[in-house]
Amino acid sequence: MTETRDDNVTWLTQEAYDRLNAELEHLTGTGRIEIADKIEAAREEGDLKENGGYHAAKEEQGKIEARIVQIQNILRNARVGGAPHKAGTVGPGMTVTIKFEGDDEEVTFLLASREESGAPIDVYSPKSPLGSAINGEKIGETVSYTLPNGRSASVEIIDAVPYGSESS
């Protein structure tokens, strides 16, 4: 289950594409009807200035509309299938194993967008400091990058394989 971004293309597995389409269909259909009903019911309670239910329903409506736009933007540039991968090179959609300098413990994660937060392993964004530092690098290389607190960290790339092909 991978979603990766390559310039303006969003690569989605069929599963991720179907899940986003189903969510969009629900939000633009049933979701909008339900929130409109809540707003109408709250409106009938009277004074809108002091009507907490009305304001909560309007806020929920705003969140639904924002999510609809977000999903539409993802799907607009979506291609179903796997992003092109080079074995041994870190990139979105890859399961990456690294070791932090001075630490013997290895860390394995999926380099992908937050849409894949349901993946069974940790997901690191390619836009995060670590993700952008290792993107495009090869197995065996050591990369330094700046942490959000201003400190520097170095990691060695141990492995990089397409998500789903890692050995269990």
Is 58 within a domain?
yes
| Blockwise average pLDDT, block size 10, the chain, 168 residues | 51 76 94 93 82 89 94 82 69 88 90 67 85 92 93 94 64
Is 56 within a domain?
yes
Q: Are 107 and 39 in the same domain?
A: no
Is 86 within a domain?
no
Q: Are 11 and 60 in the same domain?
A: yes
pLDDT tens column, 62-106: 999 999 998 898 888 777 765 556 668 888 878 899 999 988 899
Range of the domain at 48: 3-80
Is 151 within a domain?
yes
Is 120 within a domain?
yes
Q: Are 72 and 100 in the same domain?
A: no
* Last residue within a domain, chosen from 58, 80, 102: 80
Is 105 within a domain?
yes
Is 85 within a domain?
no
Q: Are 103 and 151 in the same domain?
A: yes
Supply φ then ψ for residue 112, to 5 degrees: -160, 180
The pTM is what? 0.57
Question: What is the side-by-side order of every strand in the sheet holding 78-80?
Answer: 3-6, 9-12, 78-80
What is 107-164 written as a DSSP string?
A: EEEEE--GGGTTSSS-EE-TTSHHHHHHTT-BTT-EEEEE-TTS-EEEEEEEEEEETT
Question: How many domains does the structure of the chain reveal?
Answer: 2
Domain of residue 11, CATH code: 1.10.287.180
Q: Residue 78 in contact with residue 14, Cβ under 8 Å?
A: no
Q: Are 75 and 106 in the same domain?
A: no
